[in-house]
Amino acid sequence: MARQLENETDGAGRLRRIDLTLRPAESFPVPVSDGYSVYSALLSVLDDVDSSVSARVHDSALGSLHVSGLLGGFDGSDRPHHKTVRANNTYDLSLGVVDPADEEIFQGLVSGLVLENDSIELSHGTLRVESFESENATYEGLLERASEFDDPTIEMEFETATCIEESGEVTTMFPHRWAVFNSLLGKWENSCPDDLEIDLSKEDIKAGVIEKPDPGRRDGYCLDTHSVLVNRVENDDGENRNLFSQGFTGTCAYEFKGASESVENAVTALALFGEYSGVGSAVARGCGSVEVTVTDD
């Protein structure tokens, strides 16, 4: 298993993603907003491998590390603001790195999670790595892949609370086309090679893209809203203060109407990029995890 992943990380791919399947040894409680706890545990994994890399992730202003948090079924808990990991369940965890300068982060996670410890230690229990898949991509490759679609429909499943700040500290509670793709555009521009920057304006997106929440009408209007823990800070009195962000989950499709080919390709590439980068803020702390399906109509 270790040799397979080590070989897969060779090469010059600029975007990295690891999809882990985790299994708890026993049932134990985790916070309802488990992304922050998982993020802290991953910093510990990185710190064991290279403390300087761990410190750089913690201090990163660009959010170059994306952590999905635990995806799976949970039971309730007697502890306030907690849920229970089930011993007979498996849980999915996706990790992404999009900044080419952060290759060390990916290698540190590979070393700590797969080649050495094979586990993630949370406050009340341990999750063992049962299996994994790794995926590499490049910015150029995503643009090429996007250009292969003639009339794309993009379906995005926002798996964890997606927190997009539109002005100041105000967050949107709806996957509006400009909010979603402007967030992805900013992440792309912060880390892509200079010659692969995307020329995409607010007018391009608002005029040429249409959002359709719950495209399959599986559960009616199925967008949910959330308030999730994303950080803890110490106030002037030395007391810990919890910081929360608000966001949404659910499924939304994006179609094109009267858009140029260049706009279609750019928006599609940004959507594919979202599986590596996450969408919105606090993506390292479990927010903004998205699965993307692109089909030709």
Query: Where do the structural domains in the chain lie, given as residue ranges?
Result: 2-137, 139-296
Question: What is the rounded (10 degree) CA torsion for 209, 213, 215, 219?
Answer: 180
Q: Are 230 and 244 in contact (CB under 8 A)?
A: yes
Query: Could you give the CA distance from residue 60 to residue 167 in angstroms, rounded to a whole number?
Result: 21
Distance of CA 251 to the CA centre of its chain: 15
Q: How confident is the model at residue 9 (pLDDT cuts 50, 70, 90)?
A: very low
| pTM of the model as a whole | 0.89
SS3 120: strand
Residue 93 in this model has a pLDDT that exceeds 80: yes
As a whole number of Å, the CA-based R_g of the chain is: 19
Q: How confident is the model at residue 143 (pLDDT cuts 50, 70, 90)?
A: very high
Residue 63 in this model has a pLDDT that exceeds 70: no
pLDDT value at position 1? 39
Residue-wise pLDDT tens digits, 16-39: 999 999 999 899 999 999 999 999
Residue 246 buriedness (CB in 10 A; 0-12 / 13-18 / 19+): middle
Residue listed under structure tokens 């893209």? 209
Q: How confident is the model at residue 223 (pLDDT cuts 50, 70, 90)?
A: confident
Percentage of the chain lying above the pLDDT 90 cut: 59
Q: How confident is the model at residue 5 (pLDDT cuts 50, 70, 90)?
A: very low
Burial 128-152 (b: 16+ CB within 10 A, else e): ebeebebebbbbeebbeebeebeeb
Distances in whole angstroms, Cα of residue 7 to Cα of each of 11, 110, 135, 276? 9, 11, 11, 20
- Note the CATH number of domain 2-137: 3.30.70.1890
Single out the residue of 122, 85, 168, 153 nearest to residue 294, CA to CA.
153
Give the mean pLDDT of 228-257. 85
Which residue(s) pair with 95 in the sheet? 18, 67
pLDDT value at position 145? 97
Residue-wise pLDDT tens digits, 185-215: 999 998 899 899 999 999 999 999 999 987 6
Residue 52 in this model has a pLDDT that exceeds 80: no
Q: Would 2-137 and 139-296 be classified into the same CATH topology?
A: yes
Burial 63-89 (b: 16+ CB within 10 A, else e): bbbbbbbbbeebeebeeeebbbbbeee
Residue-wise pLDDT tens digits, 96-138: 988 877 777 878 888 888 777 688 999 999 999 999 898 999 9
Residue 152 in this model has a pLDDT that exceeds 50: yes
**232: Cβ–Cβ under 8 A, 6 or more apart, which residues?**
36, 240, 241, 242, 243
Which residue(s) pair with 97 in the sheet? 16, 65
**Which of the following CATH numbers is that of domain 139-296: 3.40.50.720, 3.40.250.10, 3.40.718.10, 3.30.70.1900?**
3.30.70.1900
